[in-house]
Amino acid sequence: MLSFILRRLAIAIPTLLILVVFSYVIMYAAPGGPFDMERTLPPEVMANLEAKYGLDKPLIVQMWNYVYNVVVHFDFGPSFMYKDQTVNDIVSQGFPVTLTYGFWSFVVATVVGMSLGIMAAVYHNSWLDYVAVGISIGAQVLPNFVMAPILVLIFTLWLGWLPGGGWQGGQWQYIVMPVIALSTSFMASIARLTRSSMLEVLNANYIRTARAKGLPMRRVIFRHALKPALLPVISYLGPAFVGMITGSVVIDMYFSTGGIGVFFVNSALNRDYSVIMGITILTGALTVLFNLVVDILYAWIDPKIRY
């Protein structure tokens, strides 16, 4: 197991390097640069800007300097757009925000989604099943950019219970609506996955045997059915978790949370090269990491899997 983990971590390094090179090339291939604006800057002003940010050097030199600074100094460079900030500043401010609402969204989506799925499977074709399926379909078809304005309309304007946006260091009032908006569609997917895989497992012979032995239903479900039923769910949860903690531009835009998602999208639009790279690497590294975590969980759940 340990050698498996080490091997996977070793592969992560070239993976991330390839990611850096690809992103760099694609980014530079996109038309326009960070300092292009409505007003064409006089050549001398443009030259000063390019010199300050190293854009006057050949691409390969820029890339090498970038990787060198990241590896040796853990310095992701200054933002080209937010001139008083470095990429490290932006990520260290935005990522904790995203991590917080992403984590809670994950918890809510997983707990509620799995409960709904299990309930629907166990009470298959009963009204409980229909309610659970109904909720998950409803949650699935309501995208978060529709959810967000509706939530604010209800909880801020009509009821006056929650502030319409902001973060304020992560006080609970500010977390509730982002978490609801972000978690619902994940919750729906988890519920449907859990339900179908649970249904399959519940029809398996060994479950019939367990029930024939006279085991109580609760024990059958939690002891015998749940673990194997979770396998497909877990392979979904890994990427879903990364998706939630690396930010949602919709959540950040609608709730002004200041998370990483809105920085990522804006950096692409503004050609803020260093921020694009910084967040790409962060997302890439987290994806590699959580795919590994999923694989480890797999081995733990399914004894048939050996590495």
Partner 1 sequence: MNLKATLSLTAAAMVLATTALAGGTHPVTGEALSDNQTFTYRLLDQFPTLDPQLNEETAGGHVIRDLFEGLMIQDADGNVIPGVAESYEASNGNMTYTFHLRDAKWSNGDPVTAQDFVYAWQRAANPETASPYAWYVELTSMVNAKEIVAGEMDPSELGVKAIDDKTLEVQLTQPLPYFPAMTTYATLNPVHQATVEEFGAKWTDPENMVSNGAYTLTAMVLNEYHTREKNPMYWNADSVIIEKTTGYVINDVNQALTRYKAGEIDHLEPLPPGQYPALKAEMPDEASSVPRLCSYYYAFNLRPDAKPEIQDPRVRRALTLAIDRDVIVNQILKGGQWPAYNFAHLKTAGFEMPEIDFAGMSQKDRDAEAKRLMEESGVTDLDIKLIYNTSESHKQIATIVSQMWKQKLGVATTLENMEWKTYLNVRRDGQFDLARSAWCADYNEASTFLDLLTTTHGSNDGKFSNAEYDSLMTASKTSDNPNEMYTKAEKIISDESAIAPIYHYANTFLLSEDIKGWPYNNAENNWYSKDFYRVAE
Contacting residue, 7, 17, 48, 65, with partner 1 by CB under 8 A = 48
Give yes or no for a contact between 197 and 232, defined as CB atoms under 8 angstroms apart: yes
Give yes or no for a contact between 224 and 230, defined as CB atoms under 8 angstroms apart: no
Q: What is the DSSP letter of 86?
A: B
Using the rule CB under 8 A, is 304 a contact of partner 1? no
Using the rule CB under 8 A, is 258 a contact of partner 1? yes
**Which of 162, 165, 175 lies closest to 99 in space, CA to CA?**
175
Q: Give the number of residues written for the chain.
A: 307
Give 15 or 23: the residue with its C-beta nearer to partner 1. Answer: 23
Give 37 or 60: the residue with its C-beta nearer to partner 1. Answer: 37
Q: Which amino acid, one-letter code, is at 128? A: L
The least distance separating partner 1 from the CB of residue 189, rounded to whole angstroms, comes to 25
Using the rule CB under 8 A, is 266 a contact of partner 1? yes
Using the rule CB under 8 A, is 195 a contact of partner 1? no
In this structure, what are the phi and psi dihedrals at residue 263, rounded to the nearest 5 degrees?
-65, -40
Q: What is residue 132's three-state secondary structure?
A: helix
**Which of 192, 86, 202 lies closest to 141 in space, CA to CA?**
192
Site residues (CB under 8 A) for partner 1, limited to 50-69: 51-53
Phi-psi region of 248 (alpha: psi -120 to 50; beta: other; left: phi over 0): beta
Contact map string, positions 74 to 103, toward partner 1, x by CB under 8 A = ----x--xxxxxx---x--xx---------
Site residues (CB under 8 A) for partner 1, limited to 156-185: 156-157, 160, 163-167
The least distance separating partner 1 from the CB of residue 125, rounded to whole angstroms, comes to 41
- Give the rounded distance of the alpha carbon of 129 from its chain centre: 29
Using the rule CB under 8 A, is 273 a contact of partner 1? no
Please, what's the largest Cα pairwise distance for the chain?
85
The least distance separating partner 1 from the CB of residue 26, rounded to whole angstroms, comes to 14
Interface with partner 1 (CB under 8 A): 30-33, 35-42, 44-45, 47-49, 51-53, 78, 81-86, 90, 93-94, 148-149, 152-153, 156-157, 160, 163-167, 252-259, 262-263, 266, 269-271
